[in-house]
Amino acid sequence: DAARAERLYRAILAERPDDVEAWYQLGEVLFHYGAVRGQPIRLAQEPFERAHALDPKTGHAVLHLLDIAARAGDDARFDSLLS
């Protein structure tokens, strides 16, 4: 239930805004289930960016950010993330 998962992760983040795992999982929900809910994939960008900023070793967040940049045709962002 993607809508419920999104609500739960947002509730966690309201109380613990530095929770890397909650940011990452919110990004996962938005990235993988947003389209079927009529949401653009770019909504997952902020949660993945927050997870990565809080823990630069969150490699899967970068992979998703690369995908989002590629889909948007944002070559500069893609190159920046890739380096």
- How far is it, in rounded angstroms, from Cα 38 to Cα 83? 32
- How far is it, in rounded angstroms, from Cα 79 to Cα 83? 6
Kindly state the average pLDDT of the residues 9-32: 97
User: Is the model's pLDDT at 82 over the cut of 80?
Assistant: yes
Kindly state the average pLDDT of the residues 31-55: 94
Q: Check residue 3 and give its pLDDT.
A: 95
Question: Could you give the C-alpha distances from 77 to 6, 45, 80, 81, 82, in angstroms and in order?
Answer: 26, 12, 5, 6, 8
